[in-house]
Amino acid sequence: MLAIAETKVATFAETDDRRAGAPRQRLLMRVAKLISESGEYPCVMLDVSETGTKLRLFHACPPDTFMMIELSNGAIYPVERRWTKGDTVGLRFTGSVDVSDFIQEPNPHTRRPLRLRTNHEVKVSAGGQLAHALMINVSAGGACIEAGRQLPVGSLVKVEIAGRGARFAHVCWRDEYRHGLAFQDGMRLEDFARLALDLQPFKASGASLVYSRSA
């Protein structure tokens, strides 16, 4: 079982015949996002070198040839899919990479849980009233929604996402009609990854990705 909070790092040099024996740094339980034309998907980075990285997913790999990896500090790296084997994916960087920065993930801000940008309708029940809302992003521990009315901070709400049953959450902040929700029970990484696939089914295979961070 993989836990969101585990981010231990151990390094050693090894050889991978898929990448011409490049020196490698092994990453243990480092959670990141794989971004494709279809959406954003949680993954675990297993190792990295100057030429590429190896990921573990919790479902099939997106069909795109060119994708992006986003680290927890917001750094984005364009990659090319080279091979897949089961739930493991080998990716080649399409530009130069500072392996030290990749591993350390320098971040001047407080590290936040990995969250996925979405544009998905959810059902929200609060105070005995059922309403539709737009989920702006979601993490294993909460979500940001845009609702048609203002919900009191601290109130208990029930959220139905992608037909996966109801999750209870508290409103922890509000900005006009945008609300931050904290789930009473956080999701395991495996469940979070499967929810991501439910929300963002794969599109037909594409060769390139133009990505906007406006969300």
Domain range summary for the chain, segments of one domain joined by +: 17-104, 115-199
134-168 residue pLDDT tens: 999 999 999 999 999 999 999 999 999 877 778 99
Res 22: pLDDT: 57
Res 182: pLDDT: 97
Res 104: pLDDT: 87
CATH code matching the domain that covers 115-199, chosen among 3.40.50.920, 2.40.10.220, 3.40.50.700, 3.30.70.20 = 2.40.10.220
CB neighbourhood size of 11 (10 A): 13
Report the CATH number of the 17-104 domain.
Answer: 2.40.10.220
Q: Enter the pTM of the model.
A: 0.80
3-state secondary structure of 47: strand
Residues of the chain with pLDDT under 50: 1-20, 210-215
Res 125: pLDDT: 93
Res 4: pLDDT: 39
DSSP 173-197: EEETTEEEEEESSPPPHHHHHHHHH
